[in-house]
Amino acid sequence: MRETFSEIKDLSGNMQFVERDYSPIALVLSRFGVIERFFRFQVPSFHSQLKAVLRVAADHQAYLKSMKPDYHEDLLNSKEVHDVLACYEQFFFWKSGRYTVEFSVKSPGKVILAKSA
């Protein structure tokens, strides 16, 4: 899960985000503010393997770019890019269609819901 704490905009208009990634055991919801959370459903080893093949592909791109300005076709046909695609295919085992995700909400104490206007 990724939780975003704040967004910072500098004088030139660039946005930076203060975030943290973690595997939740429970979610604590606040009634004092809105917190944005992003849930990923991925095998943890996916990130380490993808990072490795992306690094190799980026190094290959830099090499091709230094050799000739019109390197894009060579890059797309390279083994390094095919390794990146194979990594995605290996870990993306979901089939196309509709999926349902359920979250259950519990409270350690009694909760009284108020209607909003």
Residues 65-88 have pLDDT tens digits of: 999 989 999 999 999 999 999 998
Asked whether the beta carbons of 1 and 24 are under 8 A apart, the reply is: yes
What per-residue confidence (pLDDT) applies to 43? 75
What per-residue confidence (pLDDT) applies to 30? 67
- Residue spans of the domains in the chain: they are 1-41, 43-93
Q: Is 55 exposed, middle or buried (0-12, 13-18, 19+ CB in 10 A)?
A: exposed
Helices (H), the chain: 44-67, 72-76, 79-91
**Could you please report the per-residue DSSP string of 35-54?**
-EEE-----HHHHHHHHHHH
Asked whether the beta carbons of 94 and 101 are under 8 A apart, the reply is: no
Name the residue with higher pLDDT: 33 or 62: 62
Degrees, nearest 5: CA angle 50-55-57: 95
